[in-house]
Amino acid sequence: MAVRPQGAGELLRDARRRIEALTGLPPICPDSPEAGNTTGTLWPQGQMAAFRLPACDGAALQRRLYDERRVEVPLIEWNGRELVRASVQGYDTEADVEALEAAPRVLLPEMAGVVDV
């Protein structure tokens, strides 16, 4: 795969927007100072970010993401919410981001609202 000429931060912002559009959930923090970010910093600037997921069994989703789609990302619970943490490196491509987005597109409708108790 050819490396896309954009930086990892831009690729990660693209991934973030796609996953937020998929889930319909708001971002954890805004992309720009104009969007209410009082620190004046853009997010994410780095190569790692977390995205909200609908209520689901995070451990089961994480297993299925890897077993069925070979997408390996940590899923964590924080303040009663499920989050997926993605990191994008200089060698990652648009195809990698598309794989990250496509897997939850298929699996979340099956798993949303299914919570391990």
- Count of domains for the chain: 1
User: In the block, which residue shows the tokens 């620190």?
Assistant: 39
Residue 2 pLDDT > 80: no
Helix 8-23 vs helix 94-111: crossing angle, to nearest 10? 20
Specify if 105 maps to a domain. Answer: yes
Parent domain of 93: 8-111
User: pTM surpassing 0.75?
Assistant: no
78 occurs within a structural domain: yes
The distance of Cα 12 from the centroid of its chain, to the nearest Å, equals 9
- Express each pLDDT in 17-66 by its tens digit: 888 888 888 888 766 555 555 554 555 456 788 888 888 888 898 999 89
> Is residue 1 one of the residues assigned to a domain?
no
Asked, for residue 43, whether it belongs to a domain, the answer is yes
What DSSP assignment string belongs to 43-89? S--SSEEEEEE-S--HHHHHHHHHHHH-----EEEETTEEEEEEE--
CATH of the domain at 107: 3.90.1150.10
